[in-house]
A and B are shown apart, each in its own frame.
Chain A
């Protein structure tokens, strides 16, 4: 089972045992600010000044006003659980020892309720309540080629 805590992640641990899949910024540069922000323990997302609204996931255009000048803004790395799932059946052999593990969908009320997917740190069999307040924990993998960071979530 996957049960790493916030302290363990901050000490260099990881929630899932091996990097089965690793994230990489897009070669066309669309989401580079998000990736660079994660490396510094910061959350950066898109924002349209014309619409005064955050946009997520990233796109080359604002879906509201069709401006191509979509900015990037730093948002507080906190939110609340919008939905969740506890995974019992591993679909990849490298995850066989990691089940059960929990994936959560976090909404950021201070950023127009945009959402992010991550793992919920701690005991995976603990009851999970929609609406629970959480904070981001940045899980760095500096020695991986290429290096990457995951954004995990811990109950406040």
Chain B
């Protein structure tokens, strides 16, 4: 097999700011980003001035050159961003950092996301109004104006095709809220959810109840990626990057919902490429952080990563199976986008690394393999496999 970046790099530092409800942050968005980057460097035990690369995704507003100048960094050897909206790039941005380090282009690459939705636009509001051209003109004039509305029809078709029931979506939501009750960082800490509360919650757009939809939050988070060789001499347990990348299936971005394979999370290509690169089988995954823009996307992502067969979805999508304490597939163990913070999925990356370090607030017993899947139903999606050992 050709040499890949499998195990040649590691996450050595991670941090986040306080997570706030949307509009709750008093600090400016860029300042939140500065705080997260500095804290991640401190966690790694490196001088922040030795950071020489930046990666982000989803049109992050906070430009690496501004960080570079504001922090007085010595050099800027790498700056890149995953294209595409939503959190599709949250794992891919880490893979991109690993690629840059693996290639020897940069040494200490920070991957970050900073957002203060109160200060800028919201993902959840009507994105465009007035006279529209192009793809938006085929959907928004019919009142299909938000991400929830854009993805609900995909999930409905998937449920129809495979006989998947609402209880599968509910289990994903229950798992996030269950784990958030153990996580003081979580915005939904102290706000538990049960089946009755879920069932009685209002519809946002069928098949999504209120608790099927991600929050909107303010904050920032960051991780530092360096070589595996350097990581072994640093202060934290290395979190090896076994595989990661981006992917998109055939014609997924066709306008007006014309993707030929419609009821899909869009992980069918890169689930395979990730496991191939890592030389890991789906059944070896010990803990999974799977992006919940909407719970239905998580159901599809888990199935398309081969973690639960579609035929068993109604039986196996249960809170019991997703719990950190004894579940078959511990899922979204920090509370995820639904209940920790909607950091556009970057809180999933920090949590996946914390699991390998043994520092989660819902710690799985000695996990070897930790999965992140970012941004179901968007183009591209991305994923990441982290390991305790190479």
Interface residues of A (CB under 8 A from B): 2, 16, 19-27, 56-58, 63, 82-89, 91-92, 95, 98, 101, 103, 105, 114-119, 130, 146, 148, 150
Contact = CB atoms under 8 A, between A and B. Distances in A.
Given A85-B205, A115-B258, A117-B142, 20 more contacts: A16-B143, A20-B143, A20-B145, A21-B128, A26-B133, A56-B258, A57-B254, A63-B251, A82-B262, A86-B205, A88-B206, A89-B204, A89-B205, A95-B143, A98-B143, A105-B157, A114-B258, A116-B256, A117-B256, A148-B141
A82 B205 contact: no
B134 A87 contact: no
A91 B160 contact: no
B276 to A, nearest CB: 27
A57 B258 contact: yes
A22 B132 contact: yes
A16 B256 CA distance: 19
Given A85-B205, A91-B146, A130-B160, A21 B133 contact: no
Contacts of A58: 255
Nearest to B253: A57
A101 B136 CA distance: 19
Given A20-B143, A103-B144, A83 B262 contact: yes
B141 A23 contact: yes
26 contacts: A16-B143, A20-B143, A20-B145, A21-B126, A21-B129, A21-B131, A23-B138, A26-B133, A56-B254, A57-B254, A63-B251, A83-B157, A83-B160, A85-B205, A87-B149, A88-B205, A92-B145, A103-B144, A103-B149, A105-B257, A116-B138, A117-B138, A117-B139, A117-B257, A119-B143, A146-B131
B274 to A, nearest CB: 26
Contacts of B251: 63
Given A22-B130, A26-B133, A92-B129, A84 B141 contact: no
B205 A150 contact: no
B252 interface: no
Contacts of A84: 153, 156
A89 B142 contact: no
B145 A91 contact: yes
Given A57-B138, A85-B156, A130-B160, A22 B131 contact: yes
Contacts of A56: 254-256, 258
A114 B257 CA distance: 9
A88 B138 contact: no
Given A63-B251, A83-B160, A88-B202, A21 B153 contact: no
Contacts of A130: 157, 160
Given A57-B256, A116-B256, A150 B142 contact: yes
A19 B137 CA distance: 12
Contacts of A105: 153, 157, 257
A85 B144 CA distance: 9
Given A56-B258, A57-B254, A58-B255, A85 B137 contact: no
Contacts of A92: 125-126, 129, 145
Contact of A101 (B129, B132, B134, B143): B143
A133 B2 CA distance: 52
A21 B146 CA distance: 13
A21 B130 contact: yes
Nearest to A114: B258
Contacts of A82: 157, 262
Contacts of A116: 138, 256
A150 B256 CA distance: 14
Nearest to B161: A130
Contacts of A19: 141
B97 to A, nearest CB: 33
